[in-house]
């Protein structure tokens, strides 16, 4: 019982360390971007102002485009050539990982470094992206690294936490890490836990939830303490995450406003559906034509140049010089091309890291932005953000989605204020609802997202209308297509199992789904046959049967009575350690350690005269693998896989003889497809 206590304590320790580690990454990203962005935009802003007098407009333009291009180039090069697993926000990949799909290198130290550095470069490089999504991937990678007590990339093994080296344990830690990532990004510890529950954890149980809470709380607390210290108010902890929506002084709602907000939910749903549709088409195009690494790099560079040109153009071309003071005394205004004493409101959008643009959009006075300019800027930024998510850089889509929503929300508020002039004083409310609905329409995770937005806003009275609008936004968008993450997962062709078995598949039986013939092993096998099987067959699991008649098997009949299951990695380990029948011994090394040492069978050198020696599999196999009868329905198998996190399910006849084997991929092929209110069952192409 003692070692159980120790392991349980160690699990909490790992969760707390994960929280601290994630916070450190988040802080590094936050401060790098903050200070470097100030320097960059300061220099370029000064150049602009100088040149608006002397006419050297090309100088700030060149500087802006040049700097952005170089930064994006480096970031994209790292992602494209060093670690492609660090691409995008990583949320679809983490979702798959938590679902039980293996994605090599996803939570490695290399991916973490490229992801974190990459997102700094992308944001500084002026792309329409945020730094929040990648925090979730980073948190997951931190959790994986700490819990395993080793790095496969560094080839260092610290020999701690070795009892956590099973797939399930690691996955649980990664779920806690993802929660810590959300918590660090948004200062939303509860939202973080809900995010992991909603998107991830296959088989939920309570102690795992507590560990997620521990990781989340530690992450946001660490950030809060450090940032409050750096900002010089250690007594007042008020900086819980990477982003805050700023202080709303008087956020309340009247019941007559509810319909107005609900309308925004609908708009958000439409924006979200269009966003997903365009991004889907672009991704399909990219699949077909942008196949080489240099092409991906080139695309990222083109996006960087176009973004820079567009940002610059808006500041240069718009005649929106204002002397209204923007929200927040410490906000740096950019004079841009405006006469002295005035500043450019477009520069408040485009000459800032996007978090700053968002806060301005939520809080500035109604007259601060010129409506027509805002509308045009919104459309362009929308297209830019749609293009950006999917190029080969490390980037998140939360902030651009929120910013676009805040832009149209503000326009909506301006519209409302024509009819109800008193609404003008509360324009920020419409911008906030717009931001929330736009994000919800794009990603479609309503509960966790609502909690995240509420925690970000720091106000709960507004939670109820927000929840209603975000639900409406999700449902109206769901009518047209799936969320952006699920769309990308489907495009990846990954065998993700959804929460419920697809509809219309109740009549599909195990017999139709299973793979047959099956490669089976006998309890006593020769080294030679095992080696041949491993070399010839790509399968990950092999049933062990009492007796086995190859002739019978070839005729497509049964394959003997089921005795157990050997996994591929177990077999490789047995061969590698030469644990033959006559020198049977306890293995010092655990089966979970194997992937570190040997990734495939080719590295194993077996002398020819060992081929006839026997291995007794009975001591090593799983003697009670899950099995079902040939008549079991697909929904039931689905529940087994989903509920228990299985990888293989053996199909037996009523004499307990092996008939076939079902893997996760076989089930993931069945997808019920909902579109425009209709459901149909279709087969998905799954990568092998």
Q: Interaction with its own copies in 426-465: which residues (CB under 8 A)?
A: 446-447, 450-451, 454-455, 457-461, 463-464
- Shortest Å, Cβ 204 to its own copies: 6
Give the x-and-dash track for 555-574 against its own copies (CB under 8 A).
------xxx-----------
DSSP 8-state code for residue 621: S
Phi/psi-derived region of residue 159, left when phi > 0, alpha when psi is between -120 and 50, beta in every other case: left
- Entry field: residues in the chain: 688
Q: Which three-class secondary structure state does DSSP give residue 202? A: coil
Q: What are the residues facing 564 on neighbouring strands?
A: 544
Smallest distance, its own copies to C-beta of residue 206, A: 4
| Contact range with its own copies by CB under 8 A, out of 246-254, 260-268, 322-330, 548-556 | 246-254
Using the minimum distance from each CB to its own copies, give the nearer residue, 408 or 620: 620
- Exactly one of 31, 210, 248, 580 binds its own copies (CB under 8 A); that residue is 210
According to DSSP, the β-strands at 648-652 and 627-629 are parallel
| Minimum distance, C-beta of residue 240 to its own copies, in the bound complex (Å) | 7
Q: Which stretch binds its own copies (CB under 8 A): 113-121, 204-212, 567-575, 604-612?
A: 204-212
Per-residue exposure over 92-113, b if at least 16 CB sit within 10 Å of its own CB, e if not? bbbbbbbbbbeeeebbbbbbbb
Choices 58-66, 200-208, 520-528, 549-557; region in contact with its own copies by CB under 8 A = 200-208
Q: What are the E-state strand segments in 600-640?
A: 614-616, 627-629
Burial of residue 151, with CB atoms counted within 10 A of its CB: 0-12 exposed, 13-18 middle, 19 or more buried: middle
Minimum distance, C-beta of residue 176 to its own copies, in the bound complex (Å) = 14
H-type alpha helices, 187-292: 189-199, 206-230, 258-289
63, containing H or E segment: helix 58-77
235 touches its own copies by CB under 8 A: yes
Q: Please provide residue 683's backbone torsions phi and psi, each rounded to the nearest 5 degrees.
A: -95, 135
Both tokens of 457, joined, read 């806003």
β-pair partners for 541: 567
Residues 254-313 contacting its own copies, CB under 8 A: 254-256
Should residue 547 be labelled a site residue for its own copies when binding is judged by CB under 8 A?
Answer: no
Q: Tell which one of 209, 487, 526, 619 touches its own copies (CB under 8 A).
A: 209
Six-digit token string for 318:
């718009």
What is the signed CA dihedral for 129, 241, 407, 473, rounded to 10 degrees? Answer: 90
For its own copies, which residue of 17, 331, 471, 492 counts as binding (CB under 8 A)? 471
Q: Which of 136, 140, 213, 402 binds its own copies (CB under 8 A)?
A: 213
Nearest residue to 394 (alpha-carbon basis) of 74, 87, 69, 85:
87
In terms of CB distance, is 252 or 294 closer to its own copies?
A: 252
Is residue 425 a contact residue for its own copies (CB under 8 A)? no
- Which of 655, 683, 685, 688 forms a contact with its own copies (CB under 8 A)? 655
Q: Which one of 166, 207, 319, 325 is in contact with its own copies (CB under 8 A)?
A: 207
Among 42, 624, 675, 682, binds its own copies (CB under 8 A): 624
If one asks whether residue 654 binds its own copies (CB under 8 A), the answer comes out as yes
Q: For its own copies, which is the closer residue by CB, 68 or 222?
A: 222
Between vectors from CA 508 to CA 502 and to CA 510, what angle results, nearest 5°? 110
The window from 264-272, 323-331, 356-364, 630-638 that contacts its own copies (CB under 8 A) reads 630-638
For its own copies, which is the closer residue by CB, 176 or 454?
454
Applying CB under 8 A, which part among 324-332, 352-360, 516-524, 632-640 lies near its own copies?
A: 632-640
The answer for 344, left when phi > 0, alpha when psi is -120 to 50, beta otherwise, is beta
* List 66, 234, 371, 556, residue binding its own copies (CB under 8 A): 234
Per rule CB under 8 A, count of chain residues that contact its own copies: 79
CA dihedral for 472, 473, 475, 477, sign (positive or negative):
positive
Q: Where are the beta strands (DSSP E) in 486-533?
A: 524-526
Piece in contact with its own copies (CB under 8 A), picked from 154-162, 527-535, 571-579, 675-683? 675-683
Q: Cα angle at 24 between 95 and 15, to 5 degrees?
A: 55
Beta bridge partners of 391: 389
Contact region for its own copies (CB under 8 A) — 1-9, 15-23, 347-355, 525-533?
A: 1-9
Min CB(653)–its own copies separation in Å: 8
CA 422 and chain centroid, separation: 41
CB closer to its own copies, 85 vs 510: 510
Site for its own copies, residues 62 to 91, rule: CB under 8 A? none
Least Cβ distance, residue 281 to its own copies (angstroms): 27
Helix axis angle for 167-186 and 2-54, nearest 10°, is 40
**Using CB under 8 A, which of the segments 171-179, 276-284, 512-520, 626-634 binds its own copies?**
626-634
In angstroms, give the least distance from the CB of 254 to its own copies. 5
- What secondary structure letter does DSSP report for 131? S
Q: How far is the CB of 255 from its own copies (least distance, A)?
A: 5
Choose the binding region for its own copies from 376-384, 424-432, 466-474, 572-580 (rule: CB under 8 A). 466-474
Which of 292, 323, 503, 512 touches its own copies by CB under 8 A? 503
- Residues 470 and 272: their CA atoms lie apart, in Å, by 11
- Closest contact distance (angstroms) between CB of 249 and its own copies is 14
Interface region with its own copies, contact rule CB under 8 A, candidates 122-130, 149-157, 210-218, 382-390 = 210-218
Work out which of 190, 276, 297, 617 binds its own copies, going by CB under 8 A. 190
Q: Does 467 bind its own copies (CB under 8 A)?
A: yes
Q: Contact between 237 and its own copies (CB under 8 A)? A: yes
Return all residues near 585 (Cβ < 8 A) that are at least 6 apart: 579
Per DSSP, 521 falls in state B
Helix (H) or strand (E) holding 525: strand 524-526
Maximum separation of any 2 CA atoms in the chain, in Å: 92
């Amino acid at each position: 019982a003692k070692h159980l206590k120790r392991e349980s304590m160690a699990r909490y320790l790992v969760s707390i360390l994960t929280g601290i580690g994630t916070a450190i990454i988040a802080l590094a990203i936050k401060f790098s971007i903050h200070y470097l962005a100030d320097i960059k935009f300061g220099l370029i802003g000064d150049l602009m102002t100088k040149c608006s007098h002397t006419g050297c407009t090309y100088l700030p333009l060149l500087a802006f485009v040049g700097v952005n291009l170089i930064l994006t180039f480096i970031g994209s090069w790292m992602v494209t050539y060093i670690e492609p697993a660090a691409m995008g926000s990583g949320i679809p990949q983490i979702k798959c990982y938590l679902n039980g799909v293996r994605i090599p290198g996803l939570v490695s130290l290399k991916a973490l470094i490229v992801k974190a550095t990459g997102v700094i470069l992308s944001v500084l490089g002026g792309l329409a992206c945020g730094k929040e999504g990648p925090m979730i991937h980073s948190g997951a990678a931190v959790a994986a690294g700490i819990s395993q007590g080793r790095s496969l990339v560094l080839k260092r093994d610290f020999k701690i936490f070795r009892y956590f080296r099973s797939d399930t344990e690691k996955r649980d830690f990664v779920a806690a890490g993802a929660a810590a990532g959300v918590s660090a990004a948004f200062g939303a510890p509860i939202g973080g836990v809900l995010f992991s529950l909603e998107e991830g954890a296959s088989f939920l149980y309570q102690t795992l939830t507590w560990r997620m809470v521990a990781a989340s709380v530690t992450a946001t607390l660490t950030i809060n303490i450090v940032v409050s210290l750096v900002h010089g108010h250690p007594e007042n902890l008020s900086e819980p995450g990477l982003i805050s929506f700023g202080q709303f002084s008087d956020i309340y709602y009247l019941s007559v406003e509810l319909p107005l907000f609900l309308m925004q939910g609908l708009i958000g749903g439409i924006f979200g559906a269009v966003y997903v549709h365009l991004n889907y088409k672009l991704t399909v195009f990219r699949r077909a034509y942008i196949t080489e690494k240099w092409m991906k790099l080139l695309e990222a560079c083109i996006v960087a140049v176009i973004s820079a040109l567009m940002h610059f153009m808006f500041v240069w071309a718009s005649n929106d010089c204002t002397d209204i003071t923007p929200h927040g005394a410490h906000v740096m205004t950019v004079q841009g091309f405006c006469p002295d004493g005035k500043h450019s409101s477009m520069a408040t959008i485009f000459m800032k890291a996007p978090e700053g643009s968002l806060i301005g959009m939520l809080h500035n006075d109604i007259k601060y932005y010129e409506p027509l300019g805002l509308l045009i800027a919104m459309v362009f930024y929308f297209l830019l953000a749609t293009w950006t998510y999917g190029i080969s850089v490390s980037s998140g889509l939360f902030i651009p989605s929120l910013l676009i929503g805040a832009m149209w929300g503000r326009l909506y508020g301006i519209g409302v204020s024509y009819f109800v002039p008193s609404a003008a004083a509360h324009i920020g409310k419409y911008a906030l609802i717009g931001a929330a609905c736009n994000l919800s329409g794009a990603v479609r995770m309503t509960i966790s997202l609502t909690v995240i937005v509420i925690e970000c806003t720091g106000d709960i009275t507004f939670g109820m209308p927000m929840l209603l609008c975000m639900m409406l936004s999700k449902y109206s968008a769901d009518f047209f297509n799936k969320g952006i993450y699920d769309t990308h997962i489907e495009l990846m062709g990954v065998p993700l199992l959804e929460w419920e078995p697809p509809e219309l598949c109740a009549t599909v039986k195990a017999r139709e789904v299973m793979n047959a013939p099956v490669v089976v092993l006998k309890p006593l096998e020769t080294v030679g046959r095992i080696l041949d099987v491993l070399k010839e067959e790509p399968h990950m699991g092999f049933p062990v049967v009492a007796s086995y008649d190859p002739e019978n098997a070839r005729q497509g009949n049964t394959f003997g009575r089921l005795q157990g299951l050997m996994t591929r990695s177990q077999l490789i380990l047995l061969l590698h350690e030469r644990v033959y029948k006559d020198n049977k011994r306890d293995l010092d090394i655990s089966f979970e350690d194997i992937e570190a040492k040997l990734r495939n069978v080719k590295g194993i050198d077996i002398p020819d005269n060992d081929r006839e020696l026997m291995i007794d599999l009975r001591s090593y196999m799983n003697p009670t693998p899950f099995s079902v009868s040939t008549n079991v329905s697909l929904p039931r198998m689905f529940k087994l896989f989903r509920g228990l996190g299985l990888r293989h399910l053996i199909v037996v006849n009523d004499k307990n003889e092996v008939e076939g084997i079902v893997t996760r991929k076989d089930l993931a092929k069945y997808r019920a497809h909902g579109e425009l209110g209709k459901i149909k069952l279709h087969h998905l192409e799954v990568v092998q």
